[in-house]
């Protein structure tokens, strides 16, 4: 029986809570190189200077904004996606330690590998006019996601925290890795423990989310569609569950179940939040995605995961 890096207690926790915090998963030297790559992309005239943290406070001034799906700079968000299939970013996020964890959860030999120098997320534009880039269309990592700190954090309390949501594109296991130390108030990723078990059955399909096509002559309806059962349940989750803030140190990674409710938060520290996001999928996702939610929501996971009791 091939043992992976996770203990049975960790697997039980993951099944029950829908996430797991892992220490020291990213190579610090590669984290630093990814940050170098990020900052090199900033237009040379930007008033934000890497070596001067007092310039890291957001938002981006209007003349420095960009809605280009491969490199977004708007408000407090700075998202670099063009580097998502470069060898550096793949080596950073899809490293041997991360692969061992993901294989233990998703099954030996079952991980879909990223394509070095393939198409990064955002290379086909937005998912629908005025919508976000489609995270399903990437052959690499999602990108480097940064949140600039808020200068007047007290008066802006809560304003920059997104409501909880689930992702509408198919994959199995999300990962958010910290490239720098992130304090609890530093724009941490938020998760609603246990919500994956409640939300998974409310979808029509196991991994996908229905979308309304966009038509120029029928512009009022576009994008993803939520079932009434989903809307009712996510409202209950937001009301009855206290979210966990995934803060930590450089190299820490949180892995999370595809149907777990989560959100980004405003950054009320004085340090730029810099993280790398990757979505793990199984090689048979294209077959599994046709199925509705299953009586056993762990059907497509490893035997070890299926056989672990979570109380
Ligand atoms: Fe999301």
pLDDT at residue number 216: 85
Pair 269, 198: CB distance under 8 Å: no
Instruction: Report the separation in Å between the CA atom of 263 and the middle of ligand 1, taken as the mean of its atom positions.
Output: 6
Instruction: Report the separation in Å between the CA atom of 246 and the middle of ligand 1, taken as the mean of its atom positions.
Output: 14
pLDDT at residue number 158: 65
Instruction: Report the separation in Å between the CA atom of 1 and the middle of ligand 1, taken as the mean of its atom positions.
Output: 35
Q: Is the pLDDT of residue 114 over 90?
A: yes
Return the structure tokens found at 167.
């992702």
- Report which of 71, 4, 8, 1 is spatially closest to residue 310, judged by C-alpha positions: 8
Q: Is the pLDDT of residue 41 over 60?
A: yes
Q: Which of 63-72, 100-109, 125-134, 280-289 is the least confident region?
A: 125-134
Q: Is the pLDDT of residue 272 over 80?
A: yes
Strands 244-246 and 189-191: antiparallel
In the chain, the N- to C-terminal Cα span, in Å, equals 23
Residue 196, H or E segment:
helix 195-199
- Interatomic CA distance for residues 94 and 116, integer angstroms: 11
Please state which CATH class domain 8-306 belongs to.
Answer: mainly beta
Within 8 A by CB and 6+ apart from 255, the residues are 14, 19, 20, 22, 101, 102, 105, 173, 174, 175
Region of residue 66 (phi > 0: left; psi between -120 and 50: alpha; otherwise: beta)? beta
pLDDT at residue number 123: 81
- Domain positions in the chain: 8-306
């Amino acid at each position: 029986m091939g043992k992976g890096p996770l203990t049975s207690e960790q697997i039980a926790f993951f099944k029950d809570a829908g996430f797991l915090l892992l220490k020291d998963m990213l190579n610090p030297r590669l984290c630093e190189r990814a940050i170098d790559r990020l900052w090199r992309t900033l237009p040379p005239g930007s008033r934000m200077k890497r070596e001067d943290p007092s310039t890291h406070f957001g938002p981006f001034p209007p003349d420095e904004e960009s809605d280009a799906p491969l490199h977004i700079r708007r408000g407090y968000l700075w998202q670099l996606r063009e580097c998502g299939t470069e060898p550096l970013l793949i080596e950073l996020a899809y490293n041997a330690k991360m692969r061992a964890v993901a294989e233990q959860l998703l099954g030996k030999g079952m991980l879909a590998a990223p394509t070095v120098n393939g198409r990064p997320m955002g290379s086909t534009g937005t998912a629908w006019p005025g919508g976000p880039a489609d995270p399903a269309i990437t052959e690499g990592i999602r990108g480097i996601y940064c949140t600039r700190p808020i200068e007047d954090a007290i008066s802006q309390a809560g304003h920059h925290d997104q409501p909880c949501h689930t992702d509408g594109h198919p994959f199995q296991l999300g990962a958010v890795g910290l490239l720098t130390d992130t304090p609890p108030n530093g724009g941490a990723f938020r998760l609603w423990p246990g919500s994956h078990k409640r939300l998974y059955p409310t979808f029509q399909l196991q991994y996908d989310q229905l979308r309304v096509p966009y038509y120029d002559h029928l512009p009022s309806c576009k994008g993803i569609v939520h079932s009434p059962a989903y809307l009712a349940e996510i409202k209950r989750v937001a009301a009855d569950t206290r979210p966990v803030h995934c803060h930590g140190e450089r190299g820490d990674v949180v892995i999370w179940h595809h149907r777990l409710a989560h959100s980004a938060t405003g950054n009320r520290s004085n340090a730029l939040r810099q993280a790398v996001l990757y979505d793990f999928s199984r090689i048979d996702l294209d077959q599994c995605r046709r199925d509705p939610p299953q009586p056993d929501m762990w059907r497509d996971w490893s035997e070890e995961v299926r056989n672990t009791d979570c109380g």
